[in-house]
């Protein structure tokens, strides 16, 4: 039987699916029943398989990761089934008959993302037309349904957890791939919850000595730091209550990779870092953010060089927050982030915060508006440009997949892949010959062409 966390073990020492599903925070009883049925199906299909435990637990891990992003039930079912499909324990055709088209489409989209490895520059100087086609299909799957990307990111995190005790070369290989491809993708999509875990695992495997050193320093001073932050937060809460500013104030955890990166970037020792002591203020309204900032700067001297207003000037991935560093009691520096609840949700969930799929949506998933889908495509393009600029992408793939192609949305929200230089008439004929025959004009960017 699959190895599981103690929270999901019943008195008989066995995995308890009801207990597990209840821990996921799913509010719909129907969705809980669907997931229970999918779990039972997975058990049936893996019976007698030599890797049953590994495949089942990987699915459980993926579901748990995705549930923290409030993903819909089809996404959770696809995640639970994906390890089985990927290992060819059960075919997509069989799954389509058993669990339905919408779930299988997600699984297929995630499997298409295996082509992501062909984006990476290696010793090979060229790629085959089949590889290029695979990458194009991957991009189309990513654009067509963002859930495929989020499932893939969850799968990579589950894999990083699995290789914790694997041979070093296996850990390093997995970490390098995630560092070069998946962590930048999670960052571009603004999914902070996944980005931090990817980065911390990769740092742990690629720089184990540095990871252990920083982890040890954090642990040794944890109690003093927590006591200091508790008093600091209590004072801020009282001041904001007195001023009528509605906001949550709390200490926030620091990620080891981000600490190390800042030490490297600013050439600082651990004791010199500003953000080891970190506080977050989550306000009801935008005006409350600036009111909170005023209170902070009134009571504590801030460091002007460490102030950034990402609310007025968002980061390329859409991230918004006000960052400031102040000198707290005893002259100790404290980094403070100030944001609204919506900004906080966006920072943690990224695209998942904007495109939450509704229960009971039409088969194939709910469609976002054109503007959201175009913004989503732009994020993917920015991600590939980042890879290309860093030398991580094979030039031929970049040329044939991105530079020499045009991606166009239909009125229904589907994306069409056309060669560069295509005209609106080419697009019309691609949709249907009748559309092409009757086409008399087109609007691009609101202008008739």
Residue 361's pLDDT is what? 42
Residue 393 has pLDDT above 50, yes or no: no
- Identify the structural domains of the chain with CATH numbers, from first to last: 6-191 (1.10.3210.10), 214-349 (3.30.460.10), 404-449 (3.10.20.30)
Residue 113's pLDDT is what? 77
Helix (H) or strand (E) holding 383: helix 370-389
- Beta carbons within 8 Å of 375's beta carbon, 6+ residues apart: none
Q: Give CA separation, 281 vs 270, 313, 343, in Å.
A: 24, 19, 11
Residue 373's pLDDT is what? 58
Burial class (CB in 10 A: 0-12, 13-18, 19+), 306: middle
Residue 447's pLDDT is what? 73
Both tokens of 101, joined, read 């088209």
Is the CB of residue 405 less than 8 Å from the CB of residue 411?
no
Q: Which residue has the higher pLDDT, 200 or 222?
A: 200
Mean pLDDT throughout 373-395? 59
Q: What percentage of the chain reaches a pLDDT higher than 70? A: 74
CB atoms under 10 Å from CB of 278, counted, come to 20
Q: How many CA atoms lie within 13 A of 105 on its CB side?
A: 14
Burial class (CB in 10 A: 0-12, 13-18, 19+), 379: buried
Residue 29's pLDDT is what? 94
Residue 191's pLDDT is what? 87
Give the integer Cα–Cα distance in Å for 84 and 106.
Answer: 14
Q: What confidence tens digit (pLDDT) does each residue in 83-127 have?
A: 999 999 999 999 999 999 999 999 998 887 776 654 454 444 454
Q: Write down the mean pLDDT value for the chain.
A: 81
Residue 363's pLDDT is what? 38
- Beta carbons within 8 Å of 154's beta carbon, 6+ residues apart: 61, 62, 65, 66, 79, 194
Q: Which residue has the higher pLDDT, 3 or 152?
A: 152
Q: Give CA separation, 449 vs 282, 303, 413, in Å.
A: 47, 53, 21
The DSSP bridge partners found for residue 439 are none
Tell me the H-state helices in 28-100: 29-46, 52-67, 73-86, 92-99
Q: Which range has the worst mean pLDDT, 59-73, 163-177, 236-250, 419-433?
A: 419-433
Question: For the chain, how are helix, strand and coil distributed in percent, rounded to 5?
Answer: 60, 10, 25
Radius of gyration for the alpha carbons in the chain, expressed in angstroms and rounded: 24
Residue 391 has pLDDT above 60, yes or no: no
Residue 433's pLDDT is what? 82
Residue 263 has pLDDT above 80, yes or no: yes
- What band does 279 get if pLDDT is binned at 50, 70 and 90? very high
Is the CB of residue 233 less than 8 Å from the CB of residue 295?
no
Q: How many CA atoms lie within 13 A of 163 on its CB side?
A: 20
Residue 415's pLDDT is what? 63
CB atoms under 10 Å from CB of 214, counted, come to 20
Q: Which residue has the higher pLDDT, 98 or 367?
A: 98
- What band does 40 get if pLDDT is binned at 50, 70 and 90? very high
Top mean pLDDT of 114-118, 127-131, 157-161 is at 157-161
Residue 432's pLDDT is what? 79
Residue 260 has pLDDT above 80, yes or no: yes
| Residue 50 φ/ψ, nearest 5 degrees | -65, -25
Q: Which range has the worst mean pLDDT, 3-12, 201-210, 405-414?
A: 3-12
Residue 276's pLDDT is what? 79
Give the integer Cα–Cα distance in Å for 443 and 449.
Answer: 6
Q: Which residue has the higher pLDDT, 156 or 271?
A: 156
Give the integer Cα–Cα distance in Å for 2 and 54.
Answer: 7
Q: Which range has the worst mean pLDDT, 79-93, 147-161, 267-281?
A: 267-281
Q: Which range has the worst mean pLDDT, 85-89, 293-297, 395-399?
A: 395-399
Is the CB of residue 439 less than 8 Å from the CB of residue 423?
no
Q: What percentage of the chain reaches a pLDDT higher than 90? A: 47
Residue 78's pLDDT is what? 97
Length of the chain: 449
Helix (H) or strand (E) holding 114: none
Residue 220's pLDDT is what? 75
Q: Which range has the worst mean pLDDT, 126-130, 180-184, 399-403?
A: 399-403
Q: Which range has the worst mean pLDDT, 130-134, 328-332, 363-367, 432-436?
A: 363-367
Residue 138's pLDDT is what? 57
From the list 296, 326, 338, 332, the residue with the least C-alpha distance to 221 is 332
Is the CB of residue 117 less than 8 Å from the CB of residue 392?
no
Q: Give CA separation, 410 vs 161, 380, 420, 449, in Å.
A: 40, 19, 17, 17
- What band does 382 get if pLDDT is binned at 50, 70 and 90? low
Residue 10 has pLDDT above 80, yes or no: no
Residue 117's pLDDT is what? 59
> Number of helices and strands (H, E) in the chain?
21, 10
- What band does 145 get if pLDDT is binned at 50, 70 and 90? confident
From the list 420, 440, 419, the residue with the least C-alpha distance to 428 is 440
Is the CB of residue 56 less than 8 Å from the CB of residue 3?
no
Residue 423 has pLDDT above 70, yes or no: yes
Give the integer Cα–Cα distance in Å for 194 and 14.
Answer: 29
First to last CA, the chain: 63
Q: Write the DSSP symbol of residue 355.
A: -
């Amino acid at each position: 039987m699959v190895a599981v966390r103690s929270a999901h073990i019943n008195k008989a020492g066995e995995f308890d699916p009801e207990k597990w599903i209840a821990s996921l925070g799913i509010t719909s009883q129907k969705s809980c029943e669907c997931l229970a049925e999918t779990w039972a199906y997975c058990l049936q299909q893996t019976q007698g398989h030599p890797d049953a435990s590994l495949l089942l637990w990987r699915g459980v891990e993926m579901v748990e990761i995705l549930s923290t992003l409030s993903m819909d039930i089809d996404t959770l079912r696809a995640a639970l089934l994906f390890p089985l499909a990927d290992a060819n324990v059960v075919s997509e055709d069989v799954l389509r008959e058993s669990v339905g088209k919408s779930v299988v489409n997600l699984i297929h989209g995630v499997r298409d993302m295996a082509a992501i490895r062909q984006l990476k520059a290696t010793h090979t100087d060229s790629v085959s037309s089949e590889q290029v086609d695979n990458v194009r299909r991957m991009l189309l799957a990513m654009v067509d349904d963002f859930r495929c990307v989020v499932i893939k990111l969850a799968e990579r995190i589950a894999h990083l957890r699995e290789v914790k005790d694997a041979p070093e070369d296996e850990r390093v290989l997995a970490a390098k791939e995630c560092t070069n491809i998946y962590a930048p993708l999670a960052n571009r999509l603004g999914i902070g919850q996944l980005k931090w875990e990817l980065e911390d695992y990769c740092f742990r495997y690629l720089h184990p000595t540095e990871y252990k050193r920083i982890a040890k320093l954090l642990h040794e001073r944890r109690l003093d730091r927590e006591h200091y932050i508790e008093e600091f937060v209590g004072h801020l809460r009282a001041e904001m209550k007195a001023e009528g500013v509605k906001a949550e104030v709390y200490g926030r955890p620091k990620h080891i990779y981000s600490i190390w990166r800042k030490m490297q970037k600013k050439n600082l020792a651990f004791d010199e870092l500003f953000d080891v002591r970190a506080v977050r203020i989550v306000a009801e309204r935008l005006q409350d953010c600036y009111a909170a900032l005023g209170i902070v700067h009134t009571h504590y001297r801030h460091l002007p060089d460490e102030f950034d207003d990402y609310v007025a000037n968002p980061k390329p991935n859409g991230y918004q927050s006000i960052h400031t560093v102040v000198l707290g009691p005893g002259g100790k520096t404290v980094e403070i982030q100030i944001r609204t609840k919506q900004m906080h949700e966006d920072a943690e969930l990224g695209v998942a915060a904007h495109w939450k799929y509704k229960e009971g949506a039409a088969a194939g998933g709910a469609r976002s508006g054109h503007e959201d889908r175009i913004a989503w495509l732009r994020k993917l393009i920015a991600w590939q440009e980042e890879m290309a600029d860093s030398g991580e992408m094979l030039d031929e793939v970049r040329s044939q997949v991105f530079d020499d192609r045009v991606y166009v949305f239909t009125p229904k929200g589907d994306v069409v892949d056309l060669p560069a230089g295509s005209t609106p008439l080419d697009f019309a004929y691609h949709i249907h010959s009748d559309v092409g025959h009757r086409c008399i004009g087109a609007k691009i960017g609101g202008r008739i062409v």
